[in-house]
Amino acid sequence: MVYGFWKKINTLRRAQGKPIMILAPMANVTDWAFRDIVARCGKPDVFYTEFLSCDGILHGSKKFEGELYFKKKEKPIVVQFFGSKPENFYKCAQMAQELGFDGIDINMGCPDKSVEKQGGGAALIRNPALAVKIIKETLRGSGKLPVSVKTRLGFNKIDYDWIDNLLSTDIATLSVHLRTRKEMSKAPAHWEEAGKIAKKAHRADKLLIGNGDVLSLDEAREKSRFYDLDGVMIGRGIFQNPWFFSGKKLDSPQKRIELLIRHVGNFEKLWTGGKNFDVLKRFFKIYVNGFEGAKELRVELMAAKNKEDVLRVLKKSRHFDS
Ligand SMILES: Cc1cc2nc3c(=O)[nH]c(=O)nc-3n(C[C@H](O)[C@H](O)[C@H](O)COP(=O)(O)O)c2cc1C
């Protein structure tokens, strides 16, 4: 079993009595443009890319150059793949080594219809034999890189056979979004299951990362201590506060506007027109929020098509610092 960077971070954090803190993979969110912002505000212990289609990468689609891009500052960084063809996971794992990623994660929890239709993401929960084959082929291609899986508690119901199936393989780390596929993101995460899964994972010599609804660093530390987890993964919490991993509160409106301009600049550099600018709209509320005139600015920002438009709108704010 290859533990790679996971072992080093786990040893360090265990000695400090703290969990490994991870920024969750999020499609159209955790590209380099945003990871750079998070790294500046307060770096997590581990970054993940957004999920990337093995089939799409091997097809040579140009957009993957942007999605696979990272800088040293984001290391350790794990690339997350989805798909259903074991041979493609093998090839993508080899590519991940060449590109300098620190780990490879397999998505076995995404409920997106287009992903499931291909037999990937959460559809693999219903096909445990294929899931094991995919893990084996990824491991065969991964060399010295550790392989992990991110999944859910089950498909329609909590399914310990599924968890055991994953723990019987040679993955180093298992991350569990503590909901079933059926629950999507609607029901509260089942943290009460976390302790039992952590025990199983530790018996199998694997790290267990818990995920779902965690909104502060203190909450992550408390849950990790209570359930004896190795780490906690944060998704939507970062939308409320880009300084999440530093434990600091939201910075001033001026600082946040500065960050928004940097984020938009990063986005244009990374994608040079290859991704729709509208993807950025979900971020406006992070940066432009909680001060007088913020709502009106956001309404205007929604019509922006590029960095110039964003700057033109932001210049109207008294918090804009030229
Ligand atoms: C916008 C968005 C995109 C997501 N994309 C991915 C993804 O690419 N891969 C993945 O494994 N999970 C993805 N997820 C799920 C998150 O990684 C995480 O499991 C989920 O949001 C629960 O954690 P949270 O309550 O901390 O947000 C996504 C979630 C959101 C909100």
Up-side HSE of residue 149: CA atoms within 13 Å toward CB?
Answer: 34
**HEC-encoded secondary structure of the chain:** CCCCHHHHHHHHHHHHCCCEEEECCCCCCCCHHHHHHHHHHCCCCEEEEEEEEHHHHHCCCCHHHHHCCCCHHHCCEEEEEECCCHHHHHHHHHHHHHHCCCEEEEEECCCCHHHHHCCCHHHHHHCHHHHHHHHHHHHHHHCCCCEEEEEEEECCCCCHHHHHHHHCCCCCEEEEEEEECCCCCCCCCCHHHHHHHHHHHHHCCCEEEEECCCCCHHHHHHHHHHHCCCEEEECCHHHHCCCHHHCCCCCCHHHHHHHHHHHHHHHHHHHCCCCCHHHHHHHHHHHCCCCCCHHHHHHHHCCCCCHHHHHHHHCCCCCCCC
pLDDT in tens, 202-233: 999 999 999 999 999 999 999 999 999 999 99
Specify the ligand 1 atom closest to the Cα of 214.
Answer: 26
CA of 312 to the centre of ligand 1 (A): 32
pLDDT in tens, 232-275: 999 999 999 999 999 999 999 999 999 999 999 999 999 987 89
Residues with CB under 6 A from ligand 1: 24-27, 29, 50-51, 80, 107, 109-110, 150, 177, 211-214, 234-237
Whole-model pTM? Answer: 0.97
- Return the active site residues: 110
How far is it between the farthest Cα atoms of the chain? 59
pLDDT tier at 52, thresholds 50, 70, 90: very high
At residue 157, the pLDDT reads: 98
End-to-end CA distance of the chain: 53
Mutate to test the pocket of ligand 1, among 177, 183, 184, 217 (most ligand atoms within 8 A of CB): 177
* Inter-residue contact 201 to 149 (CB < 8 Å): no
* Inter-residue contact 171 to 206 (CB < 8 Å): yes
Sign of the alpha-carbon dihedral angle for 9, 15, 18, 19: positive
* Inter-residue contact 152 to 163 (CB < 8 Å): no
Up-side HSE of residue 95: CA atoms within 13 Å toward CB?
Answer: 19
Q: What is the CA radius of gyration of the chain?
A: 20
Specify the ligand 1 atom closest to the Cα of 211.
Answer: 23
Mutate to test the pocket of ligand 1, among 21, 22, 23, 26 (most ligand atoms within 8 A of CB): 26
Specify the ligand 1 atom closest to the Cα of 189.
Answer: 25
At residue 96, the pLDDT reads: 98
CA of 114 to the centre of ligand 1 (A): 16
Percent of the chain with pLDDT over 90: 95
| Mean predicted lDDT score pLDDT of the chain | 96
